[in-house]
């Protein structure tokens, strides 16, 4: 029975201090959706008995079948907290928690980014057996760059007790290692405005428990119990219950070393006061000591009702633990007390979120989370409705109030302040509240809440900023941690269905924050995704949902490559313009190591001040200081990791051809010389230019094709190479399956970079590099080689040179170039240098 009405939720929406926007993030299969269930059961949306099995937030059919989360799902929950737990700034004891459950799979980490943008706090779930994994680190890093405050949940504690059967001290050590690892990651991304966000059990920011069994606790729970019993202050007890603190029963004093006054070892306080009762309960129930159980239940004052009296084994354990330490209570207290309300969070988040000046009316109204100010709403993702092909725009109101029928300005991803492009003025048909599988209509939603909008989906591609103020700038675009490197070509089996496919691709592009749908010059429709699984899900959706079941043909997955140069040009190349009056002289050279990555991560940016940028380049990469200031442009798309540098001295009219050369460079780096793939890590130097004195003879038509030919010639003389994307694979496996992993990786040109034993478990942690083009079917192959014991996780990591020389026919590099040229329908073989080079 749902124990709240929409009316109650609407009332709390105005009490901004009583709202918490949070999302649940973790590595794949660490138990996010299962844990979320106990919170949803507490709010009465699903039955308590079902919690843990229902996975309420996995709304799609394929999510339930595969047991993985694919899309992030939002639910609004209403709770009433005991009066003594309410934080100081809150108004009353009713709270509204807007919870978003996000996927853990690396292929869907774009969904996590979208979920993080609209939350202020994150519940990081870590499996107590596996510890902090690669994806835990990725999502934590994403959360901290968005300035989101984390709290930690150590999940699957029942496995430590039942499967691994650790004794208390081992369990404490294993859990404290996990917490330390998480804190190391958090400490590396320190942010002045956020302050210290590391998690500590004794501060109440870490919970322990089991999502499947529905029990969990923070140290506060036990500190409260013992504070009543011993008549000590709760805060004093909290600090004693974790770390190296020991209680000596003989002298009734606290000590910091484990030897008691009588010379015997005394157990750690955490083991003695917290783990001991839990261990005794587990032991008695699993060994079925009836009299012991009854005595304990009486002492803990737990009553079993009706059917529950007949339970034994795990069923009884689950029931008793749920009543003794309800998980929802521990989590809720953590969420309410330690995660920020929109009022406090938006004060420090506005710097990261808002593109315009930090003192205009929109920014001020975001900073104060002002519901009366101008509306600023960020749409972070589109959620498909039951109506085929239509979407709810899911987002968060940062300032103002969004109402049904309100007229708003919709600023899309390509909108630039002051221009008209990608800007629509439309009215919102309805506002709704997102409740997992269904939605609830609501009249208006004030600042600090998440909301679903109906009727604006035609104007938004993936994300947008919506505002009522004419002077508002758009919000900063989301930055994803993975890039779409795997592509497939899609075509309908019957040519008559092409319009349906085109329409379907448009809708698919909306439904996923990362997927890219493009049309190649050859007329192919390309869908690009982050990995095999991501593409599989996207294509399934495309066929069933968005194209209405039209049969489609898909090509084998294709990997995007990049082109680069590996040496300084062997000569200065010359190109003459068609009218023979202008000459360009250039060379090309590779970037120093690490510079391309810095440009990708926006450390070095096309918008930076040339002086500061020049200083970084000369200090860190040893470039000449005057040259480093004369960067004409980046490319491709004016933001990519290639540069044109003007190294000329005293050339007349040089600035007049700058625009033409920049345009040519964008073209040349978008379609490189080897196989028309994007270029990466190339620095082109303009050595000298001879121009005609008459302006009419050096227009764009003369310069652009010439400059492009000149760039190509320079690339060809600097020993060009192909770059391929490489995955970082993290594999968890028992010791005995390692052989299978090595043989599987060696077959696919992979190599292991580190291998470490997880202390206290029989698991090994293997990290390896695996080229993306070799990764198709890797998971299936690995499972068959290790009889299903190894679990791989692939994350795009870096670009590396393809081995061999593209000019030698039998090398790997030449095969790659040939296959790409064949696929694109280009002439066979790399174009010879004479095509582009002119003689004096």
DSSP string of 634-673, one letter each residue: EESTTTSBEEEEE--SS-TTGGGGHHHHHHHHHHHHHS-T
For residue 774, what pLDDT band results from cuts at 50, 70 and 90? confident
pLDDT band of 76, cuts 50, 70, 90: confident
Average pLDDT of the residues in 829-839: 84
pLDDT tens figures, 746-772: 888 888 888 888 766 677 888 899 888
- Average pLDDT of the residues of the chain: 83
Confidence at residue 51, expressed as pLDDT on a 0 to 100 scale: 61
- pLDDT digit string, tens, across residues 514-536: 888 888 777 788 888 887 788 88
Integer angstrom CA distances of residue 26 from 109, 127, 609, 797: 10, 9, 38, 19
Lowest mean pLDDT among 54-58, 254-258, 316-320, 556-560: 54-58
Please check whether residue 185 is in contact with residue 154, taking contact to mean a CB–CB distance below 8 angstroms. no
pLDDT bin (cut points 50, 70, 90) of residue 485 is: confident
State the pTM of this model: 0.77
**What pLDDT, on a 0 to 100 scale, did the predictor assign at position 284?**
83
Is the pLDDT at 713 greater than 50? The verdict is: yes
pLDDT for 315-357, tens place per residue?
777 788 888 888 888 888 888 888 888 888 888 888 888 888 8
Of 108, 25, 24, 100, nearest to 514 (Cα)?
108
Q: Is 63 strand, coil or helix?
A: helix
What pLDDT sits at residue 676? Answer: 85
- Tell me if 305 sits within 8 A of 297, measured CB to CB: no
For 142-168, write each residue's pLDDT tens digit: 888 888 888 888 888 887 777 777 778
What are the structure tokens assigned to 64, written together? Answer: 């339930």
Q: How confident is the model at residue 3 (pLDDT cuts 50, 70, 90)?
A: low
Total Cβ atoms within 10 A of residue 570: 11
275-312 pLDDT, tens digit per residue, is: 888 888 888 888 878 788 788 888 777 777 777 777 77
What value does the mean pLDDT take over residues 395-399?
A: 88
Instruction: Report whether pLDDT(52) > 70.
Output: no
Instruction: Single out the residue of 440, 436, 475 nearest to residue 454, CA to CA.
Output: 440
Query: Would you tell me how many other CB atoms lie within 10 Å of the CB of residue 579?
Result: 12
pLDDT band for position 1 (cuts 50, 70, 90): very low
**pLDDT tens for each residue of 570-615:** 888 888 888 888 888 988 989 888 888 888 877 888 777 888 888 8
pLDDT > 90 fraction of the chain, expressed in percent and rounded: 0
The model's confidence at residue 49, banded by pLDDT at 50, 70 and 90, is low
Is it the case that residue 691 has pLDDT exceeding 70? yes
Helices 700-717 and 658-670 cross at an angle (nearest 10°) of: 50
| Dist CA 223 CA 235 (whole Å) | 8
- The model's pLDDT over 787-803, given as tens digits with 9 standing for 90+, comes to 777 777 777 788 888 88
């Amino acid at each position: 029975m749902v124990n709240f009405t929409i009316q109650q939720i609407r009332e709390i929406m105005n009490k901004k201090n009583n709202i918490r926007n949070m999302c649940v993030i973790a590595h794949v299969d660490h138990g996010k959706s299962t844990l979320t269930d106990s919170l949803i059961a507490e709010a009465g949306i699903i039955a308590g008995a079902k919690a843990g099995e229902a996975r309420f937030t996995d709304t799609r059919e394929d999510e339930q079948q595969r047991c993985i989360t694919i899309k992030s799902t939002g639910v609004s929950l209403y709770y009433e907290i005991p009066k003594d737990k309410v934080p100081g700034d809150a108004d009353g004891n009713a709270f509204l928690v807007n919870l978003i459950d996000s996927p853990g799979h690396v292929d869907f980490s774009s969904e996590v980014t979208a979920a993080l943008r609209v939350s202020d706090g994150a519940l990081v779930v870590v499996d107590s057996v596996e510890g902090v994994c690669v994806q835990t680190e990725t999502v934590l890093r994403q959360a901290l760059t968005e300035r989101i405050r984390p709290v930690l949940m150590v999940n699957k504690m029942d496995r430590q007790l039942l499967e691994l059967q650790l004794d208390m001290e081992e369990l404490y050590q294993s859990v404290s290692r996990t917490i330390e690892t998480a804190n190391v990651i958090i400490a590396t991304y320190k942010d002045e405005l956020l302050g210290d966000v590391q998690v500590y059990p004794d501060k109440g920011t870490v919970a322990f428990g089991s999502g499947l069994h529905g029990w969990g606790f923070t140290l506060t729970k036990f500190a409260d119990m013992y504070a009543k019993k011993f008549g000590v202050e709760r805060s004093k007890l909290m600090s004693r219950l974790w770390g190296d603190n020991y209680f000596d029963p003989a002298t009734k004093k606290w000590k910091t070393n484990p030897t008691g006054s009588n010379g015997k070892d005394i157990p750690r306080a955490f083991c003695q006061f917290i783990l001991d009762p839990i261990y005794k309960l587990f032991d008695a129930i699993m060994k079925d000591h009836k009299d012991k159980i009854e005595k304990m239940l009486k002492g803990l004052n737990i009553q079993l009702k009706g059917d529950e009296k007949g339970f034994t084994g795990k069923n009884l354990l689950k029931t008793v633990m749920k009543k003794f330490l309800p998980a929802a209570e521990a989590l809720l207290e953590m969420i309410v007390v330690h995660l920020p309300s929109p009022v406090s969070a938006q004060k420090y988040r506005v710097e990261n979120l808002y593109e315009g000046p930090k003192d205009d009316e929109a920014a001020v109204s975001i900073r104060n989370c002002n519901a009366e100010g101008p509306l600023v709403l960020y749409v972070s993702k589109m959620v498909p409705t039951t109506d085929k092909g239509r979407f709810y725009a899911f987002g968060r109101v940062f300032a103002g109030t969004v109402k049904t029928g309100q007229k708003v300005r919709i600023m899309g991803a390509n909108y630039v302040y002051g221009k008209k492009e990608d800007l629509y003025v439309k009215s919102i048909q309805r506002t709704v509240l997102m409740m997992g599988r269904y939605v609830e209509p609501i009249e208006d939603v004030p600042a600090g809440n998440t909301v679903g909008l109906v009727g604006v989906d035609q104007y938004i591609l993936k994300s947008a900023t919506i505002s009522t103020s004419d002077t508002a700038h758009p919000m900063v675009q989301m930055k994803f941690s993975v890039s779409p490197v795997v592509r497939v070509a899609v075509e309908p089996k019957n040519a008559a269905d092409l319009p349906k496919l085109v329409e379907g691709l448009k809708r698919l592009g909306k439904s996923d924050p990362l997927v890219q749908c493009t049309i190649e010059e050859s007329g192919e429709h390309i869908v690009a995704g982050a990995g095999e699984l991501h593409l599989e899900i996207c294509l399934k959706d495309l066929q069933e949902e968005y194209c209405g079941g039209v049969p489609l043909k898909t090509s084998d997955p294709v990997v995007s490559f990049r082109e680069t140069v590996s040496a300084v040009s062997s000569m200065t190349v010359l190109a003459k313009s068609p009218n023979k009056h202008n000459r360009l002289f250039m060379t090309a050279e590779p970037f120093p190591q690490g510079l391309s990555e810095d440009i990708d991560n926006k450390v070095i940016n096309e918008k930076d001040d040339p002086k500061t940028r020049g200083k970084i380049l000369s200090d860190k990469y040893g470039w000449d200081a005057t040259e480093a200031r004369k960067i004409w442009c980046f490319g491709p798309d004016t933001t990519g990791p290639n540069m044109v540098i003007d190294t000329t001295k005293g050339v007349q009219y040089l600035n007049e051809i700058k625009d033409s050369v920049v345009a040519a460079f964008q073209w040349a780096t978008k379609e490189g010389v080897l196989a028309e793939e994007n270029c990466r890590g190339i620095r082109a130097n303009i050595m000298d230019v001879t121009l005609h004195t008459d302006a009419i003879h050096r227009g764009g038509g003369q310069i652009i094709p010439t400059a492009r030919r000149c760039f190509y010639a320079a690339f060809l003389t600097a020993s060009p190479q192909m770059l391929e994307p490489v995955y970082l694979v993290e594999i968890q496996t028992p010791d005995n399956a390692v052989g299978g992993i090595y043989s599987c990786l060696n077959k696919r040109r992979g190599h292991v970079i580190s291998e470490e034993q997880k202390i206290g478990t029989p698991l090994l942690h293997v990290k390896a590099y695996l080229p993306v083009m070799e990764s198709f079917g890797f998971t299936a192959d690995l499972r068959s080689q290790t009889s299903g014991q190894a679990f791989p996780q692939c994350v795009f990591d870096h670009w590396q040179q393809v081995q061999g020389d593209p000019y030698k026919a039998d090398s790997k590099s030449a095969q790659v170039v040939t296959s790409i040229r064949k696929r694109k329908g280009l002439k066979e073989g790399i174009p010879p240098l004479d095509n582009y080079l002119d003689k004096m």
